[in-house]
Amino acid sequence: VTILYLVNMSLTDKQKAFFARKMKTAFVKLDVNKAGYLSIEDYQELTKRFIEYGKLSKEDEQRIQKAMEDVCISIGMSEGVKLTPEQYLSGIIEMPVEERKIMAKSLLSQWFDVVDTNGDGVISPQEFAVYFKIMGIDESATQASFDLIDTNHDGIISRDEFVAAGEDFFIGVEETSGGTLFYGPLVD
């Protein structure tokens, strides 16, 4: 699948609307406290949920906390920072493509470490289901999303598969792209 990028190219209105819809979906899922903006509190709540739902050992709890802190640092999220949906979307669109790709790979690799609650280097269907539950994504969408991300169909999601799907979600503009369901069904 060829991925089209938002910078340095002409996009159709349909592609622009599709990309905006994906970013709105991500924003809605990441705004876990439903305050209408993204803040450090959202990421702290996600961390708390991963620890609670994942039934983690103390070592895994610390690993998850560190991975989530790394995500926050990477996106400039700190106390007092509040990103509106418009700021979130414009920040992504305005970022140069190569910089966006580098940041996406780094962040998604860190996010993989959060979702891989047992630290075995892959995401199982059970870990993915917990991830969807934590993110507030309809559990009925779990299998379709998992199957789309598990491109080699071996029943687990590798770091490469996860990062590629997430990168496609945050960069691609085609409705047929592989990362479309990264955060579950798209919101309207």
pLDDT at 159: 96
Burial of 94 (0-12, 13-18, 19+ CB in 10 A): exposed
Instruction: Provide the residue-wise pLDDT of the chain in tens; the chain has 188 residues.
Output: 334 445 445 778 888 889 889 989 989 999 999 999 999 999 889 888 888 877 777 887 888 788 778 777 767 778 899 989 888 888 777 777 777 777 778 778 878 888 888 889 999 999 999 888 888 888 899 999 999 999 999 999 999 999 999 888 888 888 877 788 898 899 98
pLDDT at 33: 92
pTM value is 0.80
If one counts every other C-beta atom within 10 angstroms of the C-beta of residue 104, the result is 20
Pick the closest to residue 164 from 112, 125, 95 (CA basis). 112
